[in-house]
Amino acid sequence: MAEIPDNYKRITEDRVDAILQRHLSSPTTLAHWFFGRAFPKCTLLSIESVSLHQYRDHSVASGDPLAFGETDVEVIATVRFRDRGEVRVGLLLEDKVDAPQADNQGPRYQARARYRREIGSWQEFKCILVAPQYYLNNAYPLNDFRDGGWDAIITFEEIAGALQRDGGSSEDARTLFEAAERENAWNKPEPTAVQFWKDLTVFQRFFHPDVPIFANPQQGARINVWPAFYENQLRNNKREIRRKYVQIAHSGSTHVSLFIKNVRYSDFVPVVSTIIEPEMRIGYEGKSWQGIQVRVPPVDPLLGVERQIEHLDKVFGAARRLYEFFIKNEPALLAIPRFK
């Protein structure tokens, strides 16, 4: 399937991390604001290093089983406190767009940071959770984030506001405001792809009425969708319960597949190899779904239906052939042992 254009992609944690890295690599306006929030009454003097996605396992060296895991953004800097002079500090940021926190994520940040303090990486540290306002409200409705292992929480909206006030980072501010929206949990609909799926339904009714198709784009750009065929005859067939383990899908850009669910490859191959037909092939080993494939030309939802009629005819033809193959060999295929 086609690559989702950047304008229609959701804002991911990696993009937020990149913005933070860019603005925390030197004593920028945002860096001064960030360190002021993390270490009140300090003045940022210099940034020593910024690193992304550092995985460290100090559980053995520290004797603390929680001292392992990945830090999204790690900043080492020197600040000056009014009453203590210069201090080397560590700022450890965990960035969440919509993914849930991992088990003991905050306490694991704390354990790693404490060990790094013991070995001299910094004299003081703060572990901060950065996320949209609604995310933090849901995670800590009583503002009890310290019980979750965080020294502070900062919203995307606050960071975006600070960038806006800076005046020279409007694009990054817009990105963070967009990342904070609930709708950012999925890719934005790409109009051309939306129209493609509507037109494909019409195309199927007129030219392939005997090959029913089910394409549920759900939420997203409507580009990377795996349409299925004969769903009511197979997986949703209430009269043939055993067929719920069977599906025919356009599973990628190069083939249509007949899948048998919950069977082992070692049991699947001996049966299928005796009945498989020309121009069909056994797919690569899957964990629970094993497949028989028919190669087809690529279909791109961004090119529209009319420009790809010949390719689409072959896709529907492959789906029809695999359905007929299943009906012909149903007893043998459904007799393959299932493991759950």
| 129 vs 145: CA distance, rounded Å | 9
pLDDT (tens digit per residue) in 212-250? 998 765 444 444 567 889 999 998 888 888 899 999 998
Q: Which of 125, 43, 117 is nearest to 83 (CA)?
A: 43
pLDDT (tens digit per residue) in 294-328? 999 988 888 889 999 999 999 999 999 999 999 99
Q: Which amino acid is at 114?
A: R
Q: What are the angstrom distances between the C-alpha of 181 and each of 80, 184, 197?
A: 36, 5, 26
Q: Which of 20, 46, 324, 40 is nearest to 176 (CA)?
A: 20
DSSP string, 135-189: HHHHH-TTS-GGGGT-SEEEEHHHHHHHHHHHSS-HHHHHHHHHHTSGGGGSPPP
pLDDT (tens digit per residue) in 5-31? 555 456 888 889 999 999 999 999 999
Taken as a whole, the chain contains a residue count of: 340
Report the 10 Å Cβ neighbour count for 257: 22
User: How would you classify the pairing of strands 280-282 and 124-131?
Assistant: unpaired
| Domain range annotation of the chain | 6-185, 191-334
pLDDT (tens digit per residue) in 41-72? 899 999 999 999 999 999 999 999 999 999 99
Q: For the whole model, what pTM was predicted?
A: 0.58
- Do 179 and 156 form a contact (C-beta atoms < 8 A)? yes
Identify the CATH assignment for 6-185 out of 1.10.150, 2.60.120, 3.40.50, 3.40.1350: 3.40.1350
Say if residue 4's pLDDT is above 60.
Answer: no
